[in-house]
Amino acid sequence: MDEEARRIGQRARRIRRAQGKSLDVIAGLASISAPYLSMLERGERRWDSRTLTDKIAHALGVKSTDLIGPPDAEDSKSRDRKHAELSPLYRALIESSLDLPERKGGTRPLPALQALTATLISAWQAHQHQQAIDVAIPLLKETATAARTGTMADRTELLWLHQQALRITSSIMRTFGELPLALVAAERCYQVAQLNGDPAALAYSAFPRIHALTPDGLYGPAYELGDQALALVETPADDRTLAVRGAVLLATAFAAALAGQPADASALLSEADEIAARTGDLTIEFGAFGPTNSTVHRMSIAVESGDHDETIRLGERLDPRRITDANRRATFLADLGRAKAAVGAEDEAVQLFQRSERASALVIRRNPYVKDVLADILHSRRRLATGPALTGLAGRLGII
């Protein structure tokens, strides 16, 4: 029996019974059969897609994280280490609020802050998490101070740099499993963009907000935020604004698909593809956009919707070396691995999970669906063919 699936199933059964609801009632609300729900509760079937988990969570009236549990089973030593790493960043996030009174303190000149922002983005995309944290702390503080006290001529650029620091801070918190703090940073990003007055900056502020909401299953609000943001950049005037629209289209399509709006998601993806064909793969100040990123998002939607054949088709036509962001590359490899496992290619799946771990260990170790798949492979009759690669990976992910 798959221990990870059994653990999730036990949670679902415990919640269902506490509510006094039958298998038939919850299965009907989730649009699945009662026997299938029973097998899920007993750990005899995989909880292998976000769509499945969300449907059952919605039927039970809970969040998906109430079923799958926290993103990482941390022991006290790991929690203490994470707290030590993130506490200075959290403090900088709070102290850099533009609503607080001005504080004395020197800041670097604007060109130096621009260079520091570029360093932060590069460190984050290269999976250098500690370097990103170390750079984000002074950047949050100094861009906030400079925006309060600097000249009006520099204020727009300083607010944009501060917004970038907040965006990366939100991503850091989300990757470490601190979803409430990720949302705090994302909301602050939006507030700063409002002060800036730049439509492209304001539209792009939806990006971290969408990504902070979706891990908790809040797809409807995430979709609405994306839709509002797209209205701000309906007629892009330059490549930067065009790429912003493309990036927000992709994030909104993901939220729409998981919110149960496949037709809207398809239309959003089609427009993103059209823009990507015009721009090619771009790397600009807020990140990357282009055909590669569009394919990655289509693949994420396919795997979370349980369309394993489409996931594999998309994944096998894309060279992962084209994905410049290490965290996104890790997610791509993990998604392809999940799909391979679903069609019985378990050895390939384990190899892909290993490559994902090498790209970004944090990303794969906090993915409950990867853990579920690995636990199932580990306990299958074919596990001996996989050998130490599987057991080593399972050990590092806390499965055994």
In DSSP terms, 288 is beta-bridged to 283
Supply φ then ψ for residue 126, to 5 degrees.
Answer: -90, 10
C-alpha pair distances (Å), 111 with each of 107, 193, 295: 11, 20, 35
In DSSP terms, 282 is beta-bridged to 289
DSSP assignment letter at 240? H
Q: Is the pLDDT of residue 383 over 50?
A: no
Q: 18-42: per-residue pLDDT in tens?
A: 888 999 999 999 889 999 999 988 8
Average pLDDT estimate for 267-276: 95
170 neighbors 214 (Cβ within 8 angstroms): no
Q: 1-12: per-residue pLDDT in tens?
A: 466 778 888 888
pLDDT for the residue 282: 77
Reported as type and span, the H/E element at residue 264 is: helix 262-279
**Tokens 């940073």, located at residue:** 185
288 neighbors 281 (Cβ within 8 angstroms): yes
pLDDT for the residue 104: 66
Hey, which bits of the chain come out as E strands?
282-284, 287-289
Per residue in 334-356, is it b (16+ CB within 10 Å) or e — as a string?
A: bbbbbbbbbeeebbbbbbbbbbb
- SS3 of 135-194: the string is HHHHHHHHHHHHHHHCCHHHHHHHHHHHHHHHHHHHHHHHHCCCHHHHHHHHHHHHHHHH
Q: 144-198: per-residue pLDDT in tens?
A: 999 988 777 799 999 999 999 999 999 999 988 899 999 999 999 999 999 988 8
**Which of residues 12 and 50 earns the better pLDDT score?**
12
Q: Largest Cα–Cα distance of the chain, in whole Å?
A: 68
Round to whole Å and give the CA distance between 325 and 357. 14
Instruction: Identify which of 101, 109, 196 has the alpha carbon closest to the alpha carbon of residue 152.
Output: 196
Q: 61-76: per-residue pLDDT in tens?
A: 888 778 877 655 555 6
Instruction: Identify which of 22, 27, 36, 15 has the alpha carbon closest to the alpha carbon of residue 55.
Output: 27
Round to whole Å and give the CA distance between 215 and 228. 20
Round to whole Å and give the CA distance between 150 and 173. 29
Q: 209-241: per-residue pLDDT in tens?
A: 999 999 888 899 999 999 999 999 998 888 888
Round to whole Å and give the CA distance between 183 and 194. 17
Average pLDDT estimate for 272-286: 84
Token pair, residue 212, equals 């902070």
Residue 79 one-letter amino acid: R
30 neighbors 56 (Cβ within 8 angstroms): yes
346 neighbors 386 (Cβ within 8 angstroms): yes
DSSP notation for 367-380: -HHHHHHHHHHHTS
Rounded CA Rg of the chain: 22
pLDDT for the residue 51: 80
